[in-house]
Structure 1
Amino acid sequence: MFLTTIGAAVPSQISPPPNIPPPPAPEPIEVCELPLPPVAPSDDVGSCTLQVNPRGTGCILRVLDGFQAGDFTTDGNNVIVNVRFTGAPASPDPASIYTGDHLILVKADGTTFAHGDPWKCLSCGVPGSQQQLRDPQLDSPHVFRSGDKALWGHNILDCNGTQLADDECTAERTNIYPIYWATIKNGTDVNGAPRELRLHPDDTHLGWSSFTPSGGQNTFFGRLRFNPEPTSGDVLAPRYELVDVNLLRDPNRSEHLTVEEGELKFHDDVIAVGELRGFSGTGDEIVYIGETYEANNIDVSAVHVVTGAVRRLTEHPEYTDPISFSADNKWIVALDTRGTNRQMFMSGLRHIPPLIDLVTVTVASSTRNNGNRRFFNPILIDGYGDRGDYFGQQINAEGDGGNGAVNDPNWNARADPAFSRDGTKMVYWQAIVTGRECGGTNPLPCPVPTTQGQRVYRLMLAKLTSRAPQEVPPVFDVPDQLPWATPFPPGTPLLNTTRGPGAGKYTLRGKISGLADVELSSSSQDQSGSFDSVAVTYRDYADVDGYVLNGWENVTSIILWPNPWNNLVDWYSDIEQTGVVTASKKTGSDGFHLQIDAMLNIFNATGTLTTTVDEVVYEQPANGT
């Protein structure tokens, strides 16, 4: 089905470029749950008995800790997953190896491995001499296209030329190597540890994001180089090194908003790679969350690795984050809050320039969650992205919505989804809402999982049943040094080269008509030395034909130091939109006030903020939901 159920808030009414084909029709999708190891009765040593798992191949936690699904093996018959085993018997019992975080393969074709299970552990029992100084970061698993290696957090699991799914890929044949990045200078990590490493389709390059202690974020692209005998650094064991590192910043196109003679100018071609989410299927584009195009509407963009051409992939007012391309670049699977109305109270009014985002972007990226609960649905979009009134097809739309159904709203998708290489299957995983996010003072009752052992997570396979296997095109030959990026050799300090506007009064001219009067100022509680308040007045302002804005908005966002992720927002709004739609974005008489920590995502607000589009009303969530 097409997600146009939120009415006139959604369509952009912008005609796509003539070289882009019309949107595809919805297609049949069959969704089922894939098997996982049985749940342990408890965390006690030996609780995973042969009665629980007759083959003695391990038991996993009922709770969410440690679970994360990855992508398919090369043949599309298996999915790589990180699980946390528990309840194993003590050594010397052979089953004692099924303890802690491990990397497993799960059959996606209805068959079993030679030992009879539909899963196989890749990392269990690997001798210590073959995993020296393994990095403790174990997440975001990805299979190399060669099929004999896997990216596992800050490590690479290598089966020495044997396909991971083969019976010959045993613990004795496997090595686990840490990934090392020489960023230390004078004993200080100059830009923070890498997070969520993303494997390029060429099996040689990686992309990653990095948070600094002050809450800043940078993104990088580098090449993997194996060093069997390192002599420097703090990881003196066989390792993969990140070399030829690029800082994904073009100094000539790094500013989204500039000032020219008192007027503000937005530059939509800016290369502003905020959080790196991966690559296109052929690897010719880097996919990321960057600057916003519309107020409070956080979307995913892509930049070409050579030309630096930027395109916006998603436009829906709801929040998009995890995303993956098919190998032929023709399709996208995205996790998005569209369909839930989670973000519509702040972003449902389309084509407002992202001026208040100068102080509210952290809030907009936080409210899409409720603590450990995500409000993501898996969405299938063609490779050209959202356009007009096309916003893709919800992958798990079929079902009765009841407890345990594939479209049960209490089950929310989690990062990351993926395509099989032939484009006929997708995999994603979900977690069910649990307390604190339900029960107690929260008005949402806690559902009882229908999964085996009442496990609170599940692994889902979506089959595109009308499709034939697609040919996999060659991988793009990406250079080690991207032409538009900044070289980042070891020890390079990060400099804040983004200038942007300072405090003051400015004018922003609409692309179609009208003006916006803008004042950037600093509150008495601001400690940044910049500004933390944005006040805007719109006068017949329009960036898109038929969407005219009048009214005002005034937002102050204060960082509650020393936690750079904790924000206190005071929001006042009274905006009317006329033309194609009759719409408004208004706060109550006392405004809207929200405190939220981006690391916790607990919605805690007073007052009201309501968006109305053609009589459809979107109100903010209740506290704690």
Structure 2
Amino acid sequence: MRFASTVTTALLAAAALTTTSLGLRRVPSSVDSLTVLYPPPQPEPIVVTELPLPPVTLSDQVGSCTPDINPHRTGCILRDSGLQSGNFLPDGKYVTAILSFAGAPAAPDPASIYTGLQLILVKVDGTTFPSGDPWKCVTCGVTAANQAGQNAAMDYPQAFRDGSRVMSGTNIIDCGSAQLASSSCTPANTYIYPIRWNNLADGSGPGGSIRELRIHPDNVHLGFSSISFTTDGKLTEYGYFSRISFNPSPSTGTPLTPRYDLTNVTRLFNPAGLQPITVQGDQISYNPDAISIGELRGFSGRGSEITYVGYPRESSNIDAFAADLTTGKIRRLTSNPEYVDPIDVSPDDKWMIIEDTRGTGRQMFMAGMRGIPPITDLVSTTASSSTRNNGRRRFFEPFLLDRYGDRGTYKGQKLTEAGDNSPGSINDPNWNALADPRWSPDGTRVVYHQEMVISPACGGPNPLPCPTSTASGGRIQRMMMANFTTRKPVQLPPVAPISDVVPWGVPYVPGSAIPTRPYPSQGVYTLKGKVTGSAKVNITENSSKTAILTVAVSYSGYSDDGLNFITGTESVTSTNLSPTLNHVDWYSRLTSTGQALSTKRTSPDGFHLNIDVLLNLFDANGTLTTTINGQVYKQPANGT
């Protein structure tokens, strides 16, 4: 096996529970055995409401937030406020969020503190704070001394269960003995401490780059992701698990201010462990039990599992997975051929909220044919995971699924199904969900946020017209809360602290080299179907022998599930024009019979796509089309 990063794992998504992960034998049938064992739940009543936010000022000029706009003089926001909702405080009465205030008067006016990116709390019960507002800014007015060393990142705000601390980006906001929502929590006793991951043997420097932090339910551990670059210049990402340790007086590294250090760090990848694709002699195999964590997405409600976006189970199908932190046993959480990424598991582990493109047809042109093994995904996953968005226009919608995930005809319940699709309604297609949805501690509500599409993802040269916001002040972001009205609150004991040790990971040693992901060496191999048939796999490496360049597969009656039988050829070549810009040349002529009659075809000159993993702007020549039982799924038009 050679080593290289073969997947842009930062953008992969997870998948639903399978019979294999349950230890069950798959029964070749038109009805998935999971459906028989675990009948899908009936739809339940869901009421979605919008949560209040500060009023809008149309200018960021000093003083534009006038008393006429906000008589309480507690701040204004711009139409594009950078809103991101977080989670509930432990009592379930407040939700954390970040946004940018604008238009504050100049100091020494007391209202001058309402400026820039800040953490706020929003009441969800219709009542107000003593100020008269249903929101409270926690970080506005914090003194410079109380935020020494603060990091710029403030995303994914998450409250600890003590009610006095919130992790926001790579900072922890701490009100000491006071509850954040109380009047005792003031700027004078609020501190913002940076989070630091030591990545050098001598402990010097600012520490390693960390992103997408998630607090474990035990409140003493957290997971995070870190992006790096391979020897051939490709972007790659690994997940990590660590303990959070307060360091009141650090002696090494920067900043030399009170901070939270990440200790006992484990990289959630073992290059010597089982990999998704392996070869032995002239045989190549796909291993569904291999743990391949791209971007860490969080934890299960009771904290025994980690959720993540991982290597696909079916070609071009980006799904979410869970792995037991002790045993490494994997569950596939979703299996719909569309793209899923944001996910949150309910406190009692019985439900999950996902945000998915399912129902939009966005990914069906490449992922709609079922049962194709993930072999070309050795080079195509960067592209297949990056076409889910059109810049800032997302296609996510929130769905409720039970623990057993997609099965048979059950694809979950859309939270906004009761909407009428009118402008500004809860399911207005021009308002799209953003990561991450969050459960309330009692399991009866979910909060999430949305953004309305704006130029250049619409209007101008884009063929889709731009909508006009119907929100107050023309806002283009909003916070939503879904209430499951017939549910009874769950009462659960606190999650006890778990071990620092993840047996299937590798303890991180500061200063050690970043590993590379194994990949099959150049050659021609045979892939045997688990039920019937086979495929010939031809792998070609790049000229420097640092990564796979092309994967070509020829299928002959291939079937892993006894439901779908694949015949035909597919070839994908992938090159990097920059660390984040990927170019693929795709040729497909596949047919599937059995459960459905499907074809996956490129135009005679092939399908050629340039896609940047950070920008997600679709730019293709040629076509890739999937047809299922006569239903045709075409690729998005360029720029849409």
TM-score between both structures, scaled by the size of structure 2: 0.92
Q: By how many angstroms is 1:251 displaced? A: 4.6
Name the structure 2 match of 1:582: 597
Q: Paired residue for 1:346?
A: 366
2:575 and 2:206 map into 1 onto residues whose CA distance is: 26
* 2:196 and 2:208 in contact (8 A); partners too: no
Change (3 A) 1:18 1:213: closer
Match of 1:224 among 222, 244, 253: 244
Greater CA drift, 176-185 or 304-313:
176-185
SS in 1 for 2:379: helix
How big is the shift at 1:186?
A: 7.2
The one-letter amino acid of 1:598's match is: V
Q: CA deviation at 1:531?
A: 2.2
Q: Report how far residue 476 of structure 1 moved.
A: 5.2
Please, which of 370, 376, 380 is the counterpart of residue 390 of structure 2?
Answer: 370
Q: Partner letter of residue 517 of structure 1?
A: K
Query: Are 2:286 and 2:374, in contact at CA under 8 Å, matched by a contact in 1?
Result: no
The CA distance in 2 between the partners of 1:400 and 1:241, in whole Å, is: 48
The answer on 1:570 being equivalent to 2:589 is no
* Residue in 2 that maps onto 1:47: 64
In 1: Cα distance, 2:206 partner to 2:30 partner? 46
Aligned residues of 1:34 and 1:106 also touching (Cα < 8 A): yes
Counterpart residue number, 2:149: 133
Structure of higher RCO (CA pairs closer than 8 Å, 6+ residues apart): 2
Closer, same or farther in 2 for the Cα pair 1:14/1:242, shift >3 Å? farther
CA deviation map 1:287-330 (0-9, x unaligned): 00011100000100011111111111010000000100111111
Residue 6 of structure 2 corresponds to: none
Q: Tell whether 2:334 aligns with 1:314.
A: yes
When structure 1 is superposed on structure 2, of 160-169 and 284-293 the one drifting more is: 160-169
3-state SS, counterpart of residue 453 of structure 1: helix
**Map of 2:628 onto structure 1:** 613
Structure 2: which amino acid aligns with 1:600? L
Which residue, out of 255, 260, 265, partners 2:275? 255
Letter paired with 1:494: I
Asked if the contact 2:570/2:590 (under 8 Å) is kept, the reply is yes
Equivalent residue for 1:464?
A: 484
The answer to whether structure 1 residue 119 and structure 2 residue 135 are counterparts is yes
Contact 1:227 1:239 in 2 (8 A): yes
- Unmatched tracts of structure 2, length 5 or more: 1-27
Runs of 5+ in structure 1 lacking a partner?
Answer: 1-10
Partner of 2:17: none
* In 1: Cα distance, 2:58 partner to 2:603 partner: 50
- The answer for the alignment partner of 2:418 in structure 1 is 398
- Cα distance, 1:440–1:565 mapped onto 2, change above 3 Å: same
Count of residues paired in the alignment: 609
Deviation at 1:352, TM superposition (A): 0.3
Rate the CA distance shift 1:252–1:146 in 2: closer, same or farther, 3 A: same
Residue aligning to 2:98: 82
Alpha-carbon distance between aligned partners in 2 of 1:391 and 1:179, rounded to the nearest angstrom: 39
How much has 1:192 moved relative to structure 2? 4.8
Identity %: 51
Instruction: Describe the shift of the 1:79–1:368 C-alpha distance in structure 2 as closer, same or farther (beyond 3 A).
Output: same
Instruction: Supply the distance in 2 between the matched residues of 1:285 and 1:455 (Cα, whole angstroms).
Output: 38
| 1:569-617 C-alpha deviation (Å, 9 max, x unpaired) | 1111111111111111111122111111111110011111111111111
Distance in 1, Cα, partners of 2:273 & 2:48: 43
Q: Distance in 1 between matches of 2:602 and 2:207?
A: 39
Q: 1:509 aligns with which of 528, 531, 544?
A: 528
- 1:210 to 2:241 alignment: no
Q: Distance in 1 between matches of 2:372 and 2:206?
A: 37
Q: Quick one: which amino acid aligns to residue 80 of structure 1?
A: T
Q: Amino acid of the residue matched to residue 22 of structure 1?
A: P
The correspondence for 1:284, drawn from 299, 304, 317, is: 304
- Partner Cα distance (1:13, 1:102) in 2: 53
Show the counterpart of 1:166: 182
Instruction: Tell me the CA shift for residue 247 of structure 1.
Output: 0.7
2:596–2:628 contact (8 Å) kept in structure 1: yes
Specify the code of the residue in structure 1 equivalent to 2:53: L
Quick one: which amino acid aligns to residue 503 of structure 1?
A: Q
Q: Which residue of 2 aligns with 1:104?
A: 120
The answer on 1:491 being equivalent to 2:511 is: yes
The letter for the 2-side match of 1:573 is S
Kept in 2: contact 1:380–1:393 (CA 8 A): yes
Cα separation, 2, equivalents of 1:566 and 1:186: 35
**Alignment check: 8 A CA contact 1:584 1:612 kept:** yes
Which residue does the alignment assign to 1:275? 295
What is the alpha-carbon distance in structure 2 between the residues aligned to residue 120 and residue 157 of structure 1? 14
> Are the counterparts in 2 of residues 327 and 473 from structure 1 also a CA contact under 8 Å?
no
Partner of 1:325: 345
Equivalence for 2:80? 63
Counterpart residue type for residue 602 of structure 2: T
Amino acid at match of 1:514: G
**Would you say 1:531 and 2:551 are equivalent positions?**
no
Report the AA paired with residue 140 of structure 1.
Y
Whether the aligned pair in 1 keeps the contact of 2:193 and 2:260 (CA below 8 Å) is: yes
**Partner in structure 2 of residue 7 of structure 1:** none
* 2:598 counterpart letter in structure 1: A
- Please point out which of 170, 177, 189 is paired with 2:193: 177
Change (3 A) 1:191 1:364: farther
| 1:191–1:494 Cα contact (<8 Å) kept | no
Contact 1:113–1:119 at 8 Å: present in 2 too?
A: yes
CA, structure 1 residues 363+190, in 2 after alignment: closer, same or farther (shift >3 Å)? Answer: farther
Contact 1:603 1:623 in 2 (8 A): yes
1:254, 1:272 within 8 Å by CA — same for their partners in 2? no
Distance 1:177 1:457 in 2: 28
Rate the CA distance shift 1:188–1:114 in 2: closer, same or farther, 3 A.
Answer: closer
